[in-house]
Amino acid sequence: MCLDNLPSFPQIESLAPSEIEKKSMELIRSELSFRKIVLDAENEPTIMRCIHASADFDYAANLVFSHGAVQKIKRILGEEKPVIVTDTNMALSGISASVCRMHGIEKVCFMADDDVRSESEKSGLTRAACSVDKAARIFGSDARRPVVFAVGNAPTALVRIRELYDAGIFRPEFVIGVPVGFVNVVQAKELILQSGMDYVVARGRKGGSTIAAAIINSFLYQL
Model pTM above 0.85? yes
What's at 222, amino acid-wise? Q
CB 82 within 8 A of CB 139: no
pLDDT at position 11 is: 77
Eight-class DSSP state of 104? T
pLDDT at position 166 is: 97
The answer to whether residue 52 is catalytic is yes
pLDDT at position 3 is: 67
Q: What's the order of all strands across the beta sheet hosting 199-202? A: 63-65, 199-202, 174-177, 147-151, 83-86, 106-109
pLDDT at position 143 is: 67
pLDDT at position 140 is: 86
The distance in angstroms from the start CA to the end CA of the chain is: 43
Average pLDDT along the chain, 223 residues, taken 10 residues at a time: 68 81 94 96 97 98 98 97 97 98 98 98 98 95 86 98 96 97 98 97 98 98 96
pLDDT at position 2 is: 63
Residue (of 192, 85, 90) closest to 140 by Cα position: 85
Eight-class DSSP state of 203? -
Axis-axis angle for helices 209-220, 69-79 (nearest 10): 70
Catalytic annotation, pick one of 29, 44, 52, 190: 52
Number of H helices, E strands in the chain: 11, 6
**Count of other CB atoms within 10 angstroms of residue 148:** 23
Rounded to whole angstroms, how far apart are CA atoms 9 and 188? 46
Residue (of 169, 167, 165) closest to 177 by Cα position: 165
> Strand pairing of 106-109 and 63-65?
unpaired
